[in-house]
Every structure is written in C-alpha cells, then in structure tokens.
Amino acid sequence: MENAVKRIGVLTSGGDAPGMNAAIRSVVRSALKREVECVGIRRGWSGLINGDILPMTSASVSGIINRGGTVLYTARSDEFRTEAGLQKAANTCKLLGLEGIVAIGGDGTFRGAQDLSKYGISVVGIPGTIDNDIVCTDYTIGFDTASNTAVECVDRLRDTMQSHERCSVVEVMGRHAGYLALYVGLAVGATAVLVPEEKYDFNAHVAEKIRRARLNGKTNFMIVVAEGAASAVEVGKQIQEQLGLDPRVTILGHIQRGGSPTAKDRVMATRMGYEAVSLLAEGKSNRVICSKNNKIVDYDIDEGLAMKKTLNAEEYEVMEAMSGV
C-alpha cells in the first residue's frame, strides 16, 4: 500500500523530558522503514517558522536512545501563537515538501499542532512531559524517569534526616498538576504531600500530619510539595514558627528533567513514535498518541484536549491511609 505522505518532519517543543530522544529515533527509523523521508526540525515550532532543519538518517539517531534531553533542542515560540507565525510555519512545510509533522511535547505543543492542521498540514502529537498532565493519556514520556530521579534524591535526604531527627521539605515539579508529587510521595512514604489540586491548608495538610506522626513515635518527617501547591520555603518557615521544628528545604528543580531515561520511558517512546508514523502514512491527521491500559491508541486532538483529568483517586486514598490521617 502506497504511503499517504512522502516526507515528514519531527520536532520537540516545550519542556524537555527524558525519552524524547527515543521518540525521535523511533519516528525517524519507522519513517525510513516505510520509505518516507524524515527531516529533523530544531528548536520546536520556532524552528519550523525559521526553516531550522536537518535531514535525518538511521545513522543520525544511532546512540541517542539512552540520552536525556533532546538532540533537536526545544524552545517556546510566541510568534507561532500568531496567525502570521502559523502561516510562516505552513509556508516552510510547503517549501520543503513536508506533508506531515510529528510534534513531541505537552499540552501547548498539541495546541500548536491543532492550529497548524488548519493550514492543511497533517499533524500527530506524542505526549512528552514529566508532569504526566496530558488529559487524554494515562502516561507521558519522561514521567517514569523524573519520578525515579526524585525518589532517589528524597531517599538520600531521608538518610540524613533520620540521622539528625529532622523534618525535610522537598519541592518537586508540577506547577499545575500534582501527579508527580503524589507518585513520589507514595514511593518515599512521605508524611504529607501538597498538590495544586487541593487548596493549601497548613494546619490540615502539614501540621496535623506531623503531629500524628510524632505521636506515633516518628522523629523525622518528609513533606513533598508540588511547586504549584505552595512554596517549599514558606512551608518550611511555617513548620519552624508553628511547630518549633528545624526543617531543611530542598528544591529539586530541573534536576528532575535530566538523566538517562528508564526502560519504561524508552519503550513507551519507541512504541508511540512508531504509531505516530503509521497514522501519517495512512493519511490521518490531527491525532494524538495515547497510552490507555498499556495499549497505544490515538484520539482526535480536539477530543483529547477537551477531556478532563484528575488525580488518581486510588493513589490519593492510599496516600491518606499511609500518612495515618
């Protein structure tokens, strides 16, 4: 069966996530397997506007599956949000003969793909973000690696907190979503976890949990804070002022984004990249690749972005039980 496209482009946009390189590799090799040319677009949508491209071969993606970050670089583009910017990007596609684009990134990346598709360019999105906050998919590339990185850091902090019988407040990423914080909190046996989805209440969410843990015999406490839920520094001050403890505050920051991707992120990225190329080759457009019950499926981007996603109720319930409140 003849492919619906002859040449496609692949880009990464928004925040980088471990596993993006594995996805790029998969897109390139899956395309070549189908005798479809693949072009790498550097610096996200900005690169598409400016024609910042390079030809991709099987050799050019050799040895990148284990590397964090993205070899195509990533950037955010205000110009791409304008009609003029979108027209420039569409013109670049026409000039270079790019009939399809695989965009790897988060929510903003998909909205960009959604807008570009209105100019007659076939687009498919692959979810890559450590926040795991894409509404239509159970899993996003980078989440497993970021979780494991944060868990390793917290475990190291806990060793010294136990030795000195202290309280530790650790801030993880998650400006608008608490998936990472909740998952990490469960994995490390945190005393309390603060997430953006719940309005911050120091007494209920922190003080009372520390008190109960202390009454149960604990002398060290671990508080995990999503950056969008509260300021870890402010939480630390409140603990000191209201509970008389001497907390240590650690902000993990961008260390969570880096590092060699886990096996899960590499495999999921590879499966998603393969499926993205398959859809474009079949002439489909405006799709987003998703993981549902460990199966790779696809949705219309409009439908996918309209879905609602909430914290895993079971995980939240388990966290409440484990923290003893």
For the annotated catalytic residues, the residue numbers are 131
Cβ–Cβ < 8 Å for 55, 10: no
Q: How many CA atoms lie within 13 A of 236 on its CB side?
A: 16
| Cα–Cα dist 96/210, whole Å | 60
DSSP labels, 244-296:
----EEEE-GGGGT-SPPPHHHHHHHHHHHHHHHHHHHTT--SEEEEEETTEE
* DSSP 8-state code for residue 207: I
Spatial contact of 18 and 261, defined as CB atoms under 8 Å apart: yes
Q: Is the dihedral of CA 67, 71, 77, 83 positive or negative?
A: negative
Query: The tokens 């719940």 sit on which residue?
Result: 198
Pairing label, strands 192-194, 122-127: unpaired
Question: Residue 195 half-sphere exposure, CB side, CA atoms within 13 Å?
Answer: 21
> How many residues are recorded in the chain?
325
Q: Is 100 exposed, middle or buried (0-12, 13-18, 19+ CB in 10 A)?
A: buried
